[in-house]
A and B are shown apart, each in its own frame.
Chain A
Amino acid sequence: MSMVLAFLAQTLRIAVPYLFAAAGGVLAERSGIISLTLEGFMLGGAFSAMLGSYWSGNPWVGVLAGLAGGLALGLVHAVATIRYKADQVVSGIAINLLAVGLTRYFLKLVFDSSSNSPRVPGFSAGTSTTALVSGLLHNPLIPLGLVAVPAVAWLLYRTPFGLRVRAVGEHPEAAATLGVSVKRVRYVAVALSGALAALGGTYLSLDQHQFTDGMSAGRGFIALAAIIFGRWDPMRAALACLFFAAAETLQIQLQAMQAIPGQFVQMIPYVLTIVALVGVVGRAVPPAALGRE
């Protein structure tokens, strides 16, 4: 029983950053803007959250700072791709590199370190089984992460704004004809996606009570994989996140047994995404206007 509980708790903890990032990514992609940026949003959010918590001594200020950091990066991406019509793939890669560069620069500048920040106030969670489970209760970002995806699903499918996002992502010309400001909807969607993905990064740095260089470690790309595997539907993307997290947990727990080499478990999300794109399990069709002006 405690094994199962530990497994579930661990899976949940690993899934939370994916859930935040996937929630944000779905929103931007459904509005027609490619989300290669999630990795950079997460890293930027992780850093600014750490900084906020460090300077204020209060992890909640860290959360706000994380949101602000993601919002700022999201706006940079929005201005580049919407105002200047920059290629969304290129801009996304630039945002990721920018996040890596800026966090490294300011880590060195503020803390004189090229690897990690000092310990900052965060949301505690231990590593033993009981601590793992009780940690879930002590970290408010975990329930928030679980709510993030349903909230985005509600936003997309049940609100006028969500309808506009989907319209703009499928057929911007038609939406414009009906008086929807394509640019404004996309600005809001991309900025929100930055903030949401940044919460995923915030979770990482506040959970570990410090920022380490490159701590997003490809999670933004796993979230993107989950979005594609979930065929751009928030709830299905969330299920993919949970599945990827469970695979990771299994790998960690099987590590001692050496049953499957860890490298092959690491490949799972990426292989499945390619499988989904190739259409083995039903074709993944992106929003029609994704990547177009």
Chain B
Amino acid sequence: MSDAATASPAPAPARRARVAEALLPPLVALLVSVVAGDLLILAVGQSPGAVYRLMLEGTWGNAYGFAQVLYKTTTLVCTGLAVAVGLRAGLFNIGAEGQLAAGGLGAALVGLALPAGTTGLIAIPLCTVAAFAAGGAVGYVPGVLRARWGAHEVITTIMLNFIVLAFLSWILTGRLRVPETVHTHAIHAGALPRLSAWWAPFHGSAANASLFIVLVAAAATSWYLFHTSRGYELRAVGLQPEAAESGGVNVGNTWIRALALSGALAGLGGINFVLGYEHYYEEGFATGAGFLGIAVALVGRSNPLGVVLAALFFATLSQGGLAINALVPKQMVDALQGVVILAMAASVPEVRRLLTLRRRAR
């Protein structure tokens, strides 16, 4: 099977061409999705301009809407980084949803185990590490399966999604859950403050301090990928595993490390819901965030900064759906997410082909 990130060992193209190759596909995808959006809006007899204006007003146009965008961005940065780290190593992690859910339960279990009144200075790092570790443990499995047995990670991560979600459900329904619900009791310690505690206009929004933790994680991921020898090895394996191998890199171990880190980053996202928002683990909180993480990583071109921007875009789209619901069914944005990914997938090789043609023509 092919890997989106590995297929681009162009022979040292000029910097401008490289920038064009990185930025053109997202622009094409954006354009295609706007056209598709127009069609869906016109299908209900509304004016696209009015709908898009409403979408902007409901997201970036007021404090609450913007805070909600930030809340949704937080989770998507994590699953987006998870997929991006995998792609950089030439691996496709489709299991971010299960890893995110495992991270959430990990954080909640630690938060429940700690005695009430534990200071946040201790509880928050412990819960955060638990989320990171739980996601990492789930990511480690497909890494080992790929490195030791050659089982392709696309299939194993999909299958593990179902296995992990069923397993978490079993743990939850055992004795953790509050009767008649699908969530645990509230954690005793480790809750993160909401952003509205510092800035009143955000009142009522779920946006919380995990945003900062996640942004630090994004910066750290960028540093790891581009400024450490481990990160260099990871990217080398992603570009040319055979070449990296003969260069002395242990490809199998790099795969394991990459998928474990990938899972850990997805798991970290669990703190946004559990520590920052509801203060309990609830079945289904991760639904859809894994697949959206793929969209985020693709549009962000597997670059941590790009991932943050792409997460902001998809969070805006998702929150914007609620804002336009009076004019157009909010389900429109679900369809648009698919369109963006499809357009992105189709335009990456097409843009590369056209740019190569142009270079040759000169």
Chain A residues proximal to chain B, CB less than 8 Å: 34, 36, 76, 80, 84-91, 93-102, 104-105, 107-109, 114, 218, 221, 224-225, 228, 261, 263-264, 266-267, 270-271, 273-274, 277-279, 286, 290-293
Instruction: Looking at the assembled complex, report how far the CB atom of B142 sits from the nearest CB atom of chain A, in whole angstroms.
Output: 9
Query: Does B159 lie within 8 Å of A76, measured CB to CB?
Result: no
Query: Does B334 lie within 8 Å of A277, measured CB to CB?
Result: no
**Contacts A90-B345, A279-B149 given; does A34 touch B339 at CB 8 Å:** no
Query: Does A102 lie within 8 Å of B341, measured CB to CB?
Result: no
Instruction: Looking at the assembled complex, report how far the CB atom of B108 sits from the nearest CB atom of chain A, in whole angstroms.
Output: 18
**Contacts A225-B159, A274-B159, A292-B2 given; does A86 touch B346 at CB 8 Å:** yes
Query: Does B334 lie within 8 Å of A101, measured CB to CB?
Result: yes
For A224, list chain B residues within 8 Å (CB). Answer: 155, 158
Q: How far is the CA of A12 from the CA of B2 in the complex (A)?
A: 36
Which B303-350 residues sit within 8 Å CB-CB of chain A? 329, 331-339, 341-342, 344-350
Stretch of B52-60, B165-173, B185-193, B233-241 contacting A (4+ beta carbons < 8 Å):
B165-173
For B7, list chain A residues within 8 Å (CB). Answer: 87
Query: Does B94 lie within 8 Å of A93, measured CB to CB?
Result: yes
Query: Does A98 lie within 8 Å of B151, measured CB to CB?
Result: no
Q: List 29 A-B contacts (CB under 8 A).
A: A34-B154, A36-B158, A80-B342, A80-B345, A86-B346, A87-B345, A88-B1, A89-B2, A89-B94, A90-B294, A93-B341, A94-B338, A96-B338, A97-B291, A97-B337, A101-B337, A101-B338, A102-B338, A109-B329, A114-B331, A218-B162, A224-B155, A228-B155, A264-B166, A270-B160, A270-B163, A273-B155, A274-B156, A274-B159
Across the interface, A266 reaches (CB within 8 A) one of B154, B162, B334, B336, namely: B162
Query: Does A109 lie within 8 Å of B346, measured CB to CB?
Result: no
B43 proximal to A (CB < 8 A): yes
Query: Does B2 lie within 8 Å of A97, measured CB to CB?
Result: no
Instruction: Looking at the assembled complex, report how far the CB atom of A108 sits from the nearest CB atom of chain B, in whole angstroms.
Output: 4
Query: Does A264 lie within 8 Å of B331, measured CB to CB?
Result: no
Query: Does B152 lie within 8 Å of A105, measured CB to CB?
Result: no
Query: Does B350 lie within 8 Å of A98, measured CB to CB?
Result: no
B92 proximal to A (CB < 8 A): yes
Which B40-59 residues sit within 8 Å CB-CB of chain A? 40, 43-44
Query: Does B344 lie within 8 Å of A90, measured CB to CB?
Result: yes
Chain B residues proximal to chain A, CB less than 8 Å: 1-4, 7, 40, 43-44, 92, 94, 145, 149, 151-152, 154-156, 158-160, 162-163, 166-167, 169-170, 173, 291, 294-295, 298, 329, 331-339, 341-342, 344-350, 353
**Contacts A80-B342, A85-B350, A102-B335 given; does A90 touch B166 at CB 8 Å:** no
**Contacts A270-B160, A277-B155 given; does A94 touch B342 at CB 8 Å:** yes
Q: How far is the CA of A92 from the CA of B156 in the complex (A)?
A: 16
Q: Which residue of B lies closest to A277 (CB)?
A: B151
Query: Does A105 lie within 8 Å of B40, measured CB to CB?
Result: yes
Query: Does B162 lie within 8 Å of A80, measured CB to CB?
Result: no
Q: How far is the CA of A108 from the CA of B339 in the complex (A)?
A: 19
Query: Does A91 lie within 8 Å of B332, measured CB to CB?
Result: no
For B152, list chain A residues within 8 Å (CB). Answer: 277, 286
For A228, list chain B residues within 8 Å (CB). Answer: 155
Query: Does B156 lie within 8 Å of A271, measured CB to CB?
Result: no
Across the interface, A100 reaches (CB within 8 A) one of B149, B173, B338, namely: B338
For B345, list chain A residues within 8 Å (CB). Answer: 80, 84, 86-87, 90-91, 94
Instruction: Looking at the assembled complex, report how far the CB atom of A106 sits from the nearest CB atom of chain B, in whole angstroms.
Output: 8
Instruction: Looking at the assembled complex, report how far the CB atom of B228 sits from the nearest CB atom of chain A, in whole angstroms.
Output: 28
For B341, list chain A residues within 8 Å (CB). Answer: 90, 93-94, 97
Q: How far is the CA of A218 from the CA of B7 in the complex (A)?
A: 30
Across the interface, A267 reaches (CB within 8 A) one of B145, B167, B338, B347, namely: B167
Q: Which residue of A lies closest to B170 (CB)?
A: A263
Instruction: Looking at the assembled complex, report how far the CB atom of B340 sits from the nearest CB atom of chain A, in whole angstroms.
Output: 8
Q: How far is the CA of A277 from the CA of B333 in the complex (A)?
A: 36
Query: Does B2 lie within 8 Å of A95, measured CB to CB?
Result: no
**Contacts A85-B350, A264-B166, A266-B162 given; does A97 touch B338 at CB 8 Å:** yes
For A84, list chain B residues within 8 Å (CB). Answer: 345-347, 349-350
Q: How far is the CA of A108 from the CA of B295 in the complex (A)?
A: 24
13 more A-B residue pairs beyond the given contacts A89-B94, A94-B342, with a C-beta to C-beta distance below 8 A: A36-B154, A87-B3, A89-B4, A94-B338, A96-B338, A104-B331, A109-B43, A261-B173, A263-B166, A263-B173, A270-B163, A274-B160, A277-B149
For B94, list chain A residues within 8 Å (CB). Answer: 89, 93
Nearest 4 CB-CB pairings of A with B = A101-B335, A98-B338, A291-B1, A101-B334
Most buried by B among A86, A109, A225: A86
Q: How far is the CA of A84 from the CA of B43 in the complex (A)?
A: 27
Instruction: Looking at the assembled complex, report how far the CB atom of A65 sits from the nearest CB atom of chain B, in whole angstroms.
Output: 18
Q: How far is the CA of A67 from the CA of B349 in the complex (A)?
A: 30
Query: Does B2 lie within 8 Å of A278, measured CB to CB?
Result: no
Query: Does A270 lie within 8 Å of B162, measured CB to CB?
Result: yes
Query: Does A76 lie within 8 Å of B342, measured CB to CB?
Result: yes
Q: How far is the CA of A105 from the CA of B94 in the complex (A)?
A: 25
For B349, list chain A residues within 8 Å (CB). Answer: 84-87
**Contacts A86-B349, A228-B155 given; does A93 touch B294 at CB 8 Å:** yes
Q: How far is the CA of A293 from the CA of B350 in the complex (A)?
A: 13
For A96, list chain B residues within 8 Å (CB). Answer: 291, 338
Q: How far is the CA of A93 from the CA of B43 in the complex (A)?
A: 25
For A101, list chain B residues within 8 Å (CB). Answer: 331-338
Q: How far is the CA of A85 from the CA of B163 in the complex (A)?
A: 32
